Amino acid sequence: MFHWLEKHPFFFAVAVFVTIAFAGLIEILPNFAQASQPVVGTKPYTTLELAGRHVYIKNSCNACHSQLVRPFKSETDRYGHYSLSGEYAYDRPFLWGSKRTGPDLMRVGNYRTTDWHENHMKDPEAVVPGSIMPAYPWLFKNTADVDTAYAEQVTVNKAFAVPYNKEIPMADGSKATVKLAATLDEAKSDALEEAKAVAADMKDQDVKDAVAAGQIPEIVALIAYLNSLK
């Protein structure tokens, strides 16, 4: 059979393809629908948080920080409850990372504050002596791309029925709703309101001035995102 295949390239290619393809089918398909169900308390991202997530991705924070708490005592002690599949239901893309040069950030919103992040991003060594993380001063200057974040919200709402403007059950029995603005302008002004709340806890005068003038620096969006990780 093999000798015959080696003389018939088309059938050879088909045989190779079938051999390599079916493992993927068996691994990925059976669990596909179940794995994308959210757990109680998982909310989609707001416009500003999503813009912050894009800043996180733009700077490849995931190259050094994981967002996956494994079910070991040493990890739950350090980072909090281990990760559940449904908590990632609105993560497109997933940001588990593959290397922990720095600590896990899955639940960083539980134990770090806006103030901490601001100081840390400016000068990591001053906050954590011995840190090898570089400083990110440009986040204080660049403006966050709220438009693209809004475009993504609209897209996932349309294509994947991500539940914006719908009541979402929370862990304490209450309901929460995450708003999807009807227009880009509305999304921008909503994001700015959110940004003002974050900037109120910050010290950098340039950032405060920018937000007061209607601009949202990347750092503000990033901190909004990091604070949402719980």
Partner 1 sequence: MENRPLEYDYTVAKMFMLTTVLLGIVGMLVGVILAWEMAFPAVNTIAGSGLAEYTNFSRLRPLHTDAVIFGFTLSGIWATWYYVGQRVLKVSMAESKFLMFLGKLHFALYLLVVVAVVVSLLLGITTSKEYAEFEWPIDIAVVVVWVIWGMSIFGLIGIRREKSLYISIWYYIATFLGIAMLYLFNNMEIPTYFASGGIGAWYHSVSMYSGTNDALVQWWYGHNAVAFGFTVPIVAMIYYFLPKESGQAVYSYKLSLLAFWGLMFVYLWAGGHHLLFSTVPDWMQTMGSVFSVVLILPSWGSAINMLLTMKGEWQQVASSPLIKFMILASTFYMFSTLEGPIQAIKSVNALAHFTDWIVGHVHDGVLGWVAFMIMAALFHMAPRVFKREIYSKSLMNTQFWIQTLGVVLYFTSMWIAGITQGMMWRAHDEFGNLAYSFIDTVAVLHPYFTIRAVGGTLYLLGMFLFAYNMYKTMTSGRRVEESELQSASPMGA
Q: Applying CB under 8 A, which of residues 95, 180, 210, 223 lies at the interface with partner 1?
A: 95
Please state, in angstroms and rounded to a whole number, the distance separating the CA atoms of residues 222 and 230: 15
Near partner 1 in 18-77, by CB under 8 A: 19-21, 23-24, 27-28, 31-32, 35-36, 57-64, 66, 68, 70-75, 77
Please state, in angstroms and rounded to a whole number, the distance separating the CA atoms of residues 81 and 57: 24
- Nearest approach in angstroms of CB 200 to partner 1 is 27
Complex with partner 1: residue 129 or 173, whichever CB lies closer: 129
Complex with partner 1: residue 39 or 200, whichever CB lies closer: 39
Asked if 101 is part of the footprint of partner 1 (rule: CB under 8 A), the reply reads yes
Complex with partner 1: residue 151 or 168, whichever CB lies closer: 151
Q: Give yes or no for a contact between 140 and 151, defined as CB atoms under 8 angstroms apart.
A: no
Residues 6+ apart with CB under 8 A from 216: 48, 51, 143, 144, 146, 191, 192, 195, 210
Q: Applying CB under 8 A, which of residues 41, 43, 81, 102 lies at the interface with partner 1?
A: 102
Give the contact letters, 105-124, x = binds to partner 1 (CB under 8 A), - = no.
Answer: --------------------
Residue 126: which region, alpha, beta or left (left: phi > 0; alpha: psi -120 to 50)? Answer: alpha
Residues 6+ apart with CB under 8 A from 210: 143, 216, 217
Near partner 1 in 171-210, by CB under 8 A: 184
DSSP 111: T
Q: Applying CB under 8 A, which of residues 83, 194, 199, 222 lies at the interface with partner 1?
A: 83
Q: Applying CB under 8 A, which of residues 41, 91, 123, 208 lies at the interface with partner 1?
A: 91
